[in-house]
Amino acid sequence: MDSTTQAIAAGILRHVLTSAASLLVAHGYLQSSGTEQFVGAGLFLAGIAWSWWQKSGQAEVAAALKKVTARNTTAAAVTTAQTLPTGAAVK
């Protein structure tokens, strides 16, 4: 992701967190003096999540998808379909 896209994503995230903090203040769950801490904590957690995703999250998801698709090949689906009785899949 290039720096322009990262800057735009960070700005959007900051506005979403600010809006969430405003909503919490309006409903009495957060004092207005705590808005900056809420936004800061949200950005901190988002940074940790983003770092995890870039370092290992993508690899873990790719490995899980590879494992799932390796078991469910077209040939396996055809073999399974051929072993079913005629009309078993139609309801």
> Span 10-32, mean pLDDT?
85
Is the pLDDT score of 80 beyond 80? no
What backbone torsions phi and psi does residue 87 show, to the nearest 5 degrees? 80, 5
Q: What is the pLDDT of residues 9-18, one digit of tens each?
A: 888 888 888 8
CA distances from 37 to 6, 32, 49, 70 (A): 22, 10, 18, 46
Query: How high does pLDDT run on average in the chain?
Result: 79
Q: What is the pLDDT of residues 57-69, one digit of tens each?
A: 888 888 888 877 7
Domain ranges of the chain: 3-81
What pTM was estimated for this model as a whole? 0.48
